[in-house]
Structure 1
Amino acid sequence: MQIIDIPISKDLQETTIHGDYAFPLAIYEDHLHSNLIGYVDLHWHDELQFSYVTKGAVEFVVNQKNYCISENQGIFINSGCLHMAKAIVDPDSTYICINVNAKLLSSFQGSIIDTAYVTPFIESECLPVILFEGTVPWQKDILSGLHRINFLYEKGEFAYELNILLEFTQVWLNIVTNMKDILQGTNKPSETNQNRLKTFLSFIQRNYRNKISLEDIASSANVSRGECCRLFRNTIQISPIEYLISYRINKSLYLLENSSMTVSQISDYVGFGSVSYFIERFRKQIGAPPKEFQRNLRNFK
């Protein structure tokens, strides 16, 4: 299944329900060019995420660090980590994304499985990401397990849930066995910068329709303008104002598709002070002016 627009709350938490209470797991095939904005925007969720690239290459940004994942490689993103994904070179880069709630692995709350082998790992600040490369035997085994999980999920045959649980247990055993020493690390990364970034992005999402300056964004987390710019460039490689403009354009896409507002009205609604500037920035980001984008959407329907 492809999600073309991830619903995100004001604190940047993804609000998609992955699976259900009875079986909290969901798998998506993400064609990045099919995403409404061409990439997966910054967000976080409680679920563990396992991804492997099936075409091209994908850059994952997790907790302000960049990871380039090529075809036949994968990545684990821990619970609660702020992350995004975008294609490298090939806009049609594709990856399989497996989101699973840790309770599927825990047996039951308070069990030895939960307290010794699950909770310490998902709560560790030292383990935001694990990369899976085909050259390392245990990582290769994990990639094979993820492929089998996807196959079982797609087939949906009798007892596929049990078979997926068995595969995931083996995947997790590989992680626990090979990453246990990480939990004893002393150099835990500070959460300050991540929390500041969340504050910046939340401020923009709440106020994008208003006139916002760089000073306003920086002040939302009580830092200098220079520190604000540094955090944005180290995380998503653009300035705070460029992110604000991009966010406004992304909001305009929904209105062009689902409202009867004119381009001028949409421009004003999403916070642009000039229609011509809105059209110029829209064309630069989307590749076509707003009217043409709207016609293409209607023709596609």
Structure 2
Amino acid sequence: MNNHHFLIDYNLKELTEHSTTTWSIALYHTKICDHRSGHIPLHWHDEFQFVFILEGEAEFHINEETICLKEVDGVFINSGCLHMAKDANGTTCTYLCLNVSPHFITANELFTTFVHPYMHASQTPYILLNRKDHWPNHIYQCIQTIQRLIDETPAYYELELNIQLITMWKCLLQNGFQIKYDARQHDKNERMKPMLNWIHQHYHE
């Protein structure tokens, strides 16, 4: 599924409804230069995002940090974090992108303990994922399985899809996802959103 253009509100929140089926999940193959602006503009959303580079190189800006991703690289972007992406080093980048609602990761009884605290871990806006390492590659394989399940919709695929998501999430929690909350950093990030939107709206001035 390609996403050539998406709407952003006055606060830079993406307005796209990330839903591939009846579930709060969407999977995209994104070619950055196909976007109307030639890059993925600065935005944020409530969904968790998993990105894996398939071809070329990309420069991602996440909150106040810049990272360069090459083939076999990937990144997890936390809920609510400002981010944008553009082609890097003269390449044309294509990446696989999975967006999933935090509330779809686990059952309600587990959400409070195993998901909610990590959504607000202001010190962890992203986690690098390199497919040369075992556990990030396992996450990538789970996303490939999710793609097949969405395309083929075999019997009981909904249950298998949920298994894959929980497996991915468990991998993150077991490999360095720290629950660290800094109220000052959170407030700073929230103030940045309208400020950056004002700059975007008045850039020509």
Q: Does 1:153 align with 2:150?
A: yes
Kept in 2: contact 1:125–1:189 (CA 8 A): no
Change (3 A) 1:22 1:122: same
- 2:170 maps to which residue? 173
* TM-aligned CA deviation for residue 186 of structure 1: 7.8
Q: Does 1:191 align with 2:152?
A: no
Q: Does 1:137 align with 2:134?
A: yes
Q: Distance in 1 between matches of 2:119 and 2:181?
A: 17
* TM-aligned CA deviation for residue 17 of structure 1: 0.5
- For structure 2, list consecutive stretches of 5 or more residues without a partner in the other structure: none
- 1:57 maps to which residue? 57
Change (3 A) 1:174 1:188: farther
- SS state of the match for residue 5, structure 1? coil
- SS state of the match for residue 175, structure 2? helix
Change (3 A) 1:124 1:186: closer
Change (3 A) 1:56 1:192: same
* Structure 1 residue identity aligned to 2:69: I
* TM-aligned CA deviation for residue 95 of structure 1: 0.4
Higher relative contact order, chain-length normalized (CA < 8 Å, sep 6+): 2
Q: Distance in 2 between matches of 1:147 and 1:21?
A: 16
Please show how residues 156-235 of structure 1 align to structure 2 within 5 Å: 156-179=153-176, 182-183=178-179, 185=180, 190-204=185-199, 208=202
- SS state of the match for residue 185, structure 2? coil
| Larger helix fraction of residues | 1
How many residues are aligned here? 205
| Larger strand fraction of residues | 2
Q: Identity over aligned residues, as a percent?
A: 29
* TM-aligned CA deviation for residue 67 of structure 1: 1.5
Deviations 1:161-180 (A, max 9, x none): 32221111111111112225
* CA RMSD in angstroms, aligned pairs only: 2.3
Change (3 A) 1:107 1:148: same
- 1:229 maps to which residue? none
- SS state of the match for residue 131, structure 1? strand
Q: Distance in 2 between matches of 1:5 and 1:186?
A: 33
Kindly name which structure, 1 or 2, has the bigger radius of gyration based on alpha carbons: 1
Kept in 2: contact 1:73–1:143 (CA 8 A): no
Kept in 1: contact 2:29–2:97 (CA 8 A): yes
Q: Distance in 2 between matches of 1:20 and 1:96?
A: 14
Kept in 1: contact 2:32–2:86 (CA 8 A): yes
Q: Distance in 1 between matches of 2:162 and 2:22?
A: 13
Q: Distance in 2 between matches of 1:91 and 1:36?
A: 18
Change (3 A) 1:189 1:159: farther
* Structure 1 residue identity aligned to 2:12: L
**Runs of 4+, deviation exceeding 4 Å:** 185-189
Change (3 A) 1:21 1:34: closer
- SS state of the match for residue 49, structure 1? strand
Q: Distance in 2 between matches of 1:90 and 1:167?
A: 35
Kept in 2: contact 1:6–1:40 (CA 8 A): no
- 2:98 maps to which residue? 98
Q: Distance in 1 between matches of 2:13 and 2:182?
A: 27
* TM-aligned CA deviation for residue 154 of structure 1: 3.0
Kept in 2: contact 1:33–1:91 (CA 8 A): no
Q: Distance in 2 between matches of 1:15 and 1:26?
A: 14
Change (3 A) 1:189 1:29: farther
